[in-house]
Chain A
Amino acid sequence: MRGKNHAASYAAKTGVNILRKYIIKRLLISVLILFCVTFIIYALIRCLPGSYVENMAQRLSTAPGSKPYEEWLAQLNASYGLDKPIIAGYGSWLLDFFRGNFGDSWRFTVPVIEEFKSVIGISFIMGVISFVIELAIAVPLGIVAATKQYSKTDYVISAAALTGISLPTFFFATLLQLVFAVKLGWFDTHGLVGRDYAQLSAAGQVLDKARHLVLPVLTLAIVSIGSLMRYTRTNMLEVLNSDYIRTARAKGLNEKKVIYHHAFRNTLIPLVTIIGGSLPGLFSGALITETLFSIPGIGFASYQAMVAGDIPFTMFYLTFIAILTLLGNLISDVLYAVVDPRVRIA
């Protein structure tokens, strides 16, 4: 008895050790990948003609009594570190990045980190709400479709899921704007706050913001529901076809118990990994949706920065997205190992 306990705890300990080693290894690889990705992005952005700096130099040089264009250009390039060769420039960018010095945004004329702080909140809120809606609709429907495979319900749900995947975000968002904002007048087409926002009470301001978020959140949720629904359905089908479900049925368990007790719990394994993996993505904002609805989130801000050629903000945003992607992959892989005891980590 005692020995058995000991063996179990030993196994658990080595398991934890292996997991820790695995995580550390993955983290190191992720950091390496991040270096590569940021370098590629940096090199790419540096290779592009720096229209923003040129424009600014042009503007400054036309001021009365100003230095000639070439001098301004040289001074601006030097002050933004654009005069260094790419590798040296990347090195200094990296150093600044680790020091937490992300530079000043050209487009927004404030430090990048300040602009980031002011826009990330609303993106996260939008992401969370739409994600919750997505989960609440996609998972149950996916399971229903799987349990009634090849029925009419399954066809309808599958077709709806594929339609959701096929919807171009921009077209769907515009349709929503036309129907609910223009024709019915329930919501505003653009912006996060209404015209009379400043006059509203605190509760009224929250409601006003909520009202403006309805259409963007709806767009985000509906466009992304499909893939999660199909994922749930596929995995549930796989589980339903496995031997232990046959055994459960053979035991004479009722169908409800088979599906919600035996099958669903096993479907949760891939679901949890994919959900965990998409958690970092909640911060990444929605570029198209935010831009279309003029919601001042990270997506809209980055779109403006990118179109204006704002290198510091763009670099920061792209690095941020790359980190989120890597983090998402890492979380889903680790979760997969943690949740499913059958998975052996190599």
Chain B
Amino acid sequence: MKRDVKKPENESERTNDTQYSLNDDRRVKVLSPGALVVKRFFRNRLAIVGLIMILSMAVFSFLGGLIIPYGESEQFYIDTNMRKEYVGVTHNDTFRYIVPEGESFSSILQSRFTLAQINGNDTFEYDKAEYTLTEDGKDLYSIRTADGTLVAVAFKDIVNAADGVEDGTFTFKYEALKAYAAGKDSFDAEGKSYALDADGNITLDGKDTAYISRFVVQPKENGITVTKDFREFLAEKLDAGETEFTYEGTDYQAQYDPSQLVWSVLQNTSTHVYDKYSSPSLKHPLGTDSNGMDVLTRLMYGGRVSLVIGFIVVFLETFIGVILGGISGYFGGWVDNLIMRLVDVFYCIPSLPIIIILGSVMDKQMVDPQIRMLYLMLILGFLGWAGTARLVRGQILSLREQEFMTATEACGISVSRRIFRHLIPNVVPQLIVTCTMGLGSTIITEATLSFLGLGVKFPFASWGNIISDVNNSFVMTNYWFVWIPAGICLMIAVLGFNFVGDGLRDAFDPKMKR
């Protein structure tokens, strides 16, 4: 089939060789078929462009990943100033209640009490029981039943423990409130003697234990302790009508919510967060993505994954396809029939839906991303060999009838050697073209699956799953740098393979005259 082709050199060189006689062998340059193919290939401008595209993508992915200082899934952080709700401050002007142990004062009783208090009544009734209220001081009432048992104390000034955590007992609170309302400077409770000043600070043996205030300061998050100083500071500032103030080096901002009658105090804090969707800069030439990872780095590693998966899948396809196609074409008969029906079956299986189903099952099983990538390659390869097998078989059917095959048979060469040494090499040109084109389409398939979230998974990058950020429409419209470069890389790689494949097809075609 292949034999050396002698090809006369073109006009310009011929004029230089005039010293040779017309039938001198040196006038003719001998080119092997391979060299002819190479020559034809390099004459094709599109093929050259394609080759450059593939090489640049390969260099970008494989060398780029080595050069770039960042890792594949390295996340970047940024410090931002965030205003977080710190505390809520209310000026208490409703009655609150404390109840001694063993008694109860239900909300119905509470409202009865409020009614009686507003109307200036001394007693109120509920459920056939009569209650008496005694004004112990301004906005401080004690409520007793008819037999004189103390059931509750109603008050507006609030007793807070000095450290903001501990809650005092009933007696302590009641005594403190009574003393505060009466303007006394000391009171006794539970056998201890407390001192009280005009600001409502309660001390025991010179140590702050509690304070009385109408300002209620409620922490908005667990773990915030409001100190007395801070509370006094807040009360003072809010009374003065200031909304922005600094306390112990931290900035605070107060906002009044009229509907809730609450001042909400915001604290400015510096927070360490993922550097999401940062615009292209010197540090990140293509910005960062939704996980705070460098897009350029992800592109490089994604290119590796996409290219490697493409190569492995095509290799698998070709491997299965060549073996089955070779056997089928060479032996013919029932073997051929059987294998070809198998090829028909595989041709007919809708592969994309099957892969989508398998992908979503793997999603639910939470298969490890690395193993998943392996499965993906196996599935793609296993579903894609039919085309190659059909091609190889067709070629071999026509080749095996040719004289050189009769010659191999006459020489007594073994069957496997005849197939794999003499037939398959003649199919190789066609095979290379199909593989090159197949690489492009495999890369697209893998990218499509990854785009749908069913292929290569985080933390691994692939061009497809980089683009899948676009499913968030805000990213699509505002952060072009996250997904457009990946799409362009994908297109360049696939286009490169298709250009080269096309160029190879033309170059391998012996009928081509250029």
Residues of A in contact with B (beta carbons under 8 Å apart): 29, 32-34, 36-37, 40-41, 44-45, 48-49, 51, 150, 155, 158-159, 162-163, 165-171, 174-175, 177-178, 182, 189, 241, 287-288, 291, 302-303, 306-307, 309, 314, 317-318, 321-322, 325-326, 329
User: Are B487 and A168 within 8 A (Cβ)?
Assistant: yes
Partner of A166, one of B353, B364, B464, B491: B491
| Stretch from B33-41, B276-284, B495-503 forming part of the interface with A | B495-503
User: Are A287 and B349 within 8 A (Cβ)?
Assistant: no
Assuming the contacts A155-B46, A169-B448, A174-B476, asked whether A306 and B348 have C-beta atoms less than 8 A apart, the reply is no
The answer, yes or no, to whether B170 is at the interface (CB within 8 Å) is: no
Residues 486-508 of B at the A interface (beta carbon under 8 Å): 487, 490-491, 494-495, 497-499, 502
How far does the Cβ of B355 sit from chain A's closest Cβ, in whole Å? 10
Residues of B in contact with A (beta carbons under 8 Å apart): 45-46, 341, 344-345, 347-350, 352-354, 356-358, 360-361, 364-365, 440, 444, 447-448, 451-452, 464, 467, 470, 473, 476-477, 480, 483-484, 487, 490-491, 494-495, 497-499, 502, 511, 514
Residues of B within 8 A of A33 (CB): 341, 344-345, 348
Closest to B454 in A: A307
**A51-B361, A150-B514 known; 19 other A-B pairs, CB under 8 Å?**
A34-B348, A36-B341, A49-B361, A49-B365, A162-B498, A162-B499, A166-B494, A168-B444, A168-B447, A168-B451, A171-B467, A171-B487, A174-B476, A178-B477, A189-B473, A287-B353, A287-B356, A322-B349, A325-B347
How far does the Cβ of A38 sit from chain B's closest Cβ, in whole Å? 10
Closest to A183 in B: B477
Assuming the contacts A37-B348, A162-B502, A174-B483, asked whether A168 and B494 have C-beta atoms less than 8 A apart, the reply is yes
User: Are A170 and B356 within 8 A (Cβ)?
Assistant: no
User: Are A325 and B350 within 8 A (Cβ)?
Assistant: yes
Q: How far is the CA of A303 from the CA of B347 in the complex (A)?
A: 21
Closest to B443 in A: A168
Q: How far is the CA of A241 from the CA of B513 in the complex (A)?
A: 12
The 4 residue pairs across chains A and B that have the minimum distance between CB atoms: A171-B487, A166-B494, A166-B495, A321-B350
Residues of A within 8 A of B502 (CB): 158, 162
Residues of B within 8 A of A189 (CB): 473
User: Are B448 and A174 within 8 A (Cβ)?
Assistant: no
How far does the Cβ of B233 sit from chain A's closest Cβ, in whole Å? 50
Q: How far is the CA of A34 from the CA of B344 in the complex (A)?
A: 10
Q: How far is the CA of A168 from the CA of B511 in the complex (A)?
A: 33
Closest to B441 in A: A165
Partner of A36, one of B345, B357, B448, B483: B345
- 29 chain-A/chain-B pairs, Cβ below 8 angstroms: A37-B345, A37-B349, A40-B345, A41-B349, A48-B357, A49-B365, A51-B361, A150-B514, A155-B45, A158-B502, A159-B46, A162-B499, A162-B502, A163-B495, A166-B491, A166-B497, A168-B447, A168-B451, A168-B491, A171-B487, A174-B476, A175-B484, A306-B360, A307-B356, A314-B353, A314-B357, A321-B350, A321-B353, A322-B349
Residues of A within 8 A of B358 (CB): 48
Q: How far is the CA of A155 from the CA of B50 in the complex (A)?
A: 13
Residues of B within 8 A of A36 (CB): 341, 345
